[in-house]
């Protein structure tokens, strides 16, 4: 924990006289069995902390199995959060506090804890069998494994049972409240308000008052335990962050992406249609949109990935905004249909919440390895607009932008998110709804004078073809996946026409760049090193580059939302630096694209272990590189 002097200069203390130390940031990791409620616990801490005005970033890290065997290493589920009194960009590298609910959680996570970090350990299950299940050769509490940490041993299971003695819950039910006991302890330790959690639980379990009561009892008992026993010598406080003025809401990536799509649909005045097939980590988009029927959203849970995109294409053909949500394996199945949308020149948004591949890979772990698939994963010359979101809050703008581009340019758009963005959360400064950019949709008007409708007659500026809704008088026409003559849309095998159409489809995508703003940089527009980023590494890159800039290095960063087409000034920007480095969670896919396109020696910094970059790793890499350059 990085402590600072109290800005007020006042000596603060807890009611019983223990000092309250002021910190500018804390990283906490909750770890337990999949069934221990770690995600819920982390979520509650996050909400409370966001409401108390701190900046916050979260990183849930859970297994694909819904309930892996209890007490085993694969069953460990974790939730990391970082909160601060300043603007932060990542959920932190190493935790200051680790809550370990069993020996398996301890085994998986204890090495990550910072030296002298606080380890709150549930001692309920340290029998021989449990230790063996967690692959501990000996009891780690006794053999020195935990030396160097501030270990706080509490039998959370037993303490919770005692606290809930008066309730009607059975033992199993009582045991399930132990996460709230741990939360209560942390609420005391970090001076958090318990009210938001009281409110949230009352809402979440509105139909089960006995569960609400038990959870709150457990939380308050934990809080009282920390207060009355002397397990902690000090309590801590993190003052609110100085975020830009506005109204905030804590948001997860999938949620904000969804809101961006809905907002765009409302602005455009065209309803959304989602065709989707459940897949981790994208399913929440389907869940969320299913709840927005009052905003005219249609959701169609299709029989498979292909049907999902095909139904979305059918919807777009009918005059709705067709979208489909999936992850990499689903994108693989949708390839042919994306080609059809490119050929039919219909608006379509494909959301790829990337996960670790190949094949089934590691569904709950993050990766950015679907970029080349997004760019080139279809037969024939089939360019598609590709844009990426970089943080949970940024996903709102990207969702909005995807609809704008698809509808105004009559093109399919691929949005790349990833598991880290999808499930992570951060405070989001809510936009002024009236100030959202306009989205202009023009449906082709009816023709009643007998003249022939030309389905591929293009807009001069964007090259978009008219969007003709079936049901409109005078616009009957046929389209399809066969090559067609420009303007008329009739089938054509003419060589010159085919060349022209391929060039036109590419040019249409390229012209999306015409309306893009110039690239922003973090730092100067010239210097020694430019760190380029796209997608979720943004936070870690920002934190690392800012630290290096403070040390006086001539290092800048820039982030790409638009991957196809690329911003027009990217080539020029890269020329201003001695070295361009691109950290990405793949084997160097964007680096390869940029090298090919600009003939610039972009250096790839690759990581593909299913985990996000830590800012420390990026800082170390860049430091070394800066030394080499000097």
The footprint of other proteins (CB under 8 A) covers 47, 50-51, 53, 196, 243-250, 259, 262-263, 266, 273, 275, 292-298, 300, 302-304, 306-307, 310-315, 317-320, 322, 336-337, 339-340, 344, 430-431, 433, 446, 448, 469-482, 490-491
Q: Write down the least CB distance from residue 296 to other proteins, Å.
A: 7
Nearer to other proteins among residue 320 and residue 540 (C-beta):
320
Nearer to other proteins among residue 315 and residue 402 (C-beta):
315
Q: Write down the least CB distance from residue 288 to other proteins, Å.
A: 11
Q: Is 506 helix (H, G, I), strand (E, B) or coil?
A: helix
Nearer to other proteins among residue 329 and residue 612 (C-beta):
329
Nearer to other proteins among residue 189 and residue 306 (C-beta):
306
Nearest by Cα to 281 from 402, 396, 421, 377: 421
Q: Write down the least CB distance from residue 244 to other proteins, Å.
A: 7
DSSP 8-state secondary structure symbol assigned to residue 443: B
Q: Are residues 531 and 594 in contact, defined by beta-carbon separation less than 8 angstroms? A: no
Nearer to other proteins among residue 117 and residue 275 (C-beta):
275
Residue 625: CB partners within 8 Å, gap ≥ 6?
529, 579, 581, 603
Nearer to other proteins among residue 84 and residue 366 (C-beta):
84
Residue 325 main-chain phi, psi, to 5 deg: -120, 140
> In angstroms, what CA-CA distances link 307 with 274, 323, 324, 334, 453?
11, 12, 10, 9, 30
- HEC string of 557-603 equals EEEECEEECCCCCHHHHHHCEEEEEEEECCCCHHHHHHHHHHCCCEE
Q: Write down the least CB distance from residue 135 to other proteins, Å.
A: 40
Q: Write down the least CB distance from residue 307 to other proteins, Å.
A: 4
Nearer to other proteins among residue 185 and residue 307 (C-beta):
307
Q: Write down the least CB distance from residue 299 to other proteins, Å.
A: 9
Nearest by Cα to 62 from 80, 41, 77, 42: 77
Q: Write down the least CB distance from residue 429 to other proteins, Å.
A: 8
Q: Write down the least CB distance from residue 50 to other proteins, Å.
A: 7
Nearer to other proteins among residue 306 and residue 422 (C-beta):
306
- HEC string of 227-238 equals HHCCCCCCEEEC
Nearer to other proteins among residue 493 and residue 495 (C-beta):
493
Q: Are residues 286 and 308 in contact, defined by beta-carbon separation less than 8 angstroms? A: no
Residue 599's Cβ-side half-sphere holds a number of Cα atoms within 13 Å equal to 0
Residue 350: CB partners within 8 Å, gap ≥ 6?
309, 323, 324, 326, 331, 334, 338, 412, 413, 414, 415
Q: Write down the least CB distance from residue 1 to other proteins, Å.
A: 24
**Residue at token pair 């979208």:** 323
Nearer to other proteins among residue 79 and residue 181 (C-beta):
79
Torsion of CA 79, 177, 1, 190, to 10 degrees: 130
Nearer to other proteins among residue 438 and residue 471 (C-beta):
471
Structure tokens at 121: 């350990």
Q: Write down the least CB distance from residue 47 to other proteins, Å.
A: 6
Q: Are residues 392 and 429 in contact, defined by beta-carbon separation less than 8 angstroms? A: no
Q: Write down the least CB distance from residue 337 to other proteins, Å.
A: 6
Structure tokens at 347: 């608006």
Angle between helices 283-290 and 253-268 (to 10 degrees): 50
């Amino acid at each position: 924990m990085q402590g600072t002097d109290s800005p007020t200069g006042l000596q603060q203390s807890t009611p019983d006289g223990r000092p309250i130390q002021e910190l500018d940031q804390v990283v906490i990791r909750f770890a337990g069995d999949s069934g221990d409620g770690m995600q819920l616990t982390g979520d509650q801490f996050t909400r409370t902390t966001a409401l108390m005005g701190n900046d916050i970033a979260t990183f849930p890290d859970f297994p694909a199995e819904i309930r892996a065997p209890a007490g085993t290493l694969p069953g460990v589920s974790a939730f990391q959060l970082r909160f601060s009194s300043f603007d932060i960009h990542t959920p932190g590298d190493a935790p200051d506090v680790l809550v370990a609910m069993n020996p398996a959680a301890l085994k998986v996570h204890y090495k990550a804890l910072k030296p002298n970090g606080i380890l709150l350990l549930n001692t309920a299950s340290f029998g021989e069998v449990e230790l063996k299940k967690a692959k501990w050769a000996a009891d780690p509490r006794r053999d020195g494994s935990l030396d160097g940490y501030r270990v706080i041993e509490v039998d959370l299971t037993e303490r919770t049972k005692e606290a809930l003695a008066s309730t009607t819950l059975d033992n199993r039910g009582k045991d399930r409240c132990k996460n709230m006991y741990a939360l209560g302890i942390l609420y005391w330790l970090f001076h958090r308000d318990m009210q938001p959690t009281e409110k949230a639980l009352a809402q979440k379990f509105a139909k089960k008052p006995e569960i609400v009561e038990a959870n709150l009892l457990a939380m308050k008992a934990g809080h009282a335990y920390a207060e009355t026993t002397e397990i902690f010598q000090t309590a801590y406080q993190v003052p609110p962050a100085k975020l830009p003025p506005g109204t905030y809401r804590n948001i997860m990536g999938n949620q904000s992406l969804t809101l961006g799509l809905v907002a765009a649909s409302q602005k455009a005045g065209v309803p959304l249609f989602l065709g989707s097939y459940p897949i981790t980590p994208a399913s929440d988009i389907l869940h969320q949109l299913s709840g927005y029927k009052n905003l005219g959203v249609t959701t169609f849970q299709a029989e498979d990935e292909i049907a999902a995109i095909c139904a979305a294409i059918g919807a777009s053909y009918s005059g709705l905004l067709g979208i489909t949500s999936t992850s990499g394996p689903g994108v693989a199945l949708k390839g042919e249909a994306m080609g059809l949308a490119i050929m039919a020149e219909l608006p379509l948004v494909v959301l790829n919440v990337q996960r670790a591949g190949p094949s089934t890979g590691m569904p709950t772990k993050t990766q950015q390895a679907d970029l080349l698939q997004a760019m080139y994963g279809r037969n024939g010359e089939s360019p598609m607009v590709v844009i990426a979101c970089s943080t949970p809050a940024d996903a709102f703008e990207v969702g909005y932008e995807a609809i704008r581009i698809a509808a105004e340019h009559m093109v399919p758009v691929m949005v790349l998110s990833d598991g880290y963005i999808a499930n992570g959360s951060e405070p989001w400064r809510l936009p002024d709804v009236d100030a959202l950019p306009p989205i202009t949709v023009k449906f082709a008007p009816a023709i009643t004078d007998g003249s022939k409708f030309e389905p591929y007659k293009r807009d001069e500026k964007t090259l978009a073809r008219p969007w003709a809704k079936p049901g409109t008088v005078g616009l009957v026409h046929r389209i399809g996946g066969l090559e067609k003559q420009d303007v008329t849309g009739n089938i054509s095998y003419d060589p010159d026409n085919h060349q022209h159409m391929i060039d036109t489809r590419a040019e249409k995508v390229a012209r999306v760049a015409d309306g893009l703003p110039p690239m922003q940089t973090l730092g100067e527009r010239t210097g020694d090193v430019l760190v380029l980023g796209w997608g979720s590494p943004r936070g870690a890159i920002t934190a690392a580059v800012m630290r290096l800039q403070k040390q006086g290095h001539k290092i800048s960063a820039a982030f790409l939302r638009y991957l196809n087409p690329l911003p027009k000034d990217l080539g020029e920007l890269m020329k201003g630096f001695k070295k361009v480095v691109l950290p990405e969670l793949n084997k160097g896919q964007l680096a390869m694209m940029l090298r090919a396109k600009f003939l610039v020696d972009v250096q790839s910094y690759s990581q593909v272990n299913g985990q996000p970059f830590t800012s420390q790793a990026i800082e170390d890499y860049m430091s070394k590189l800066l030394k080499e350059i000097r």
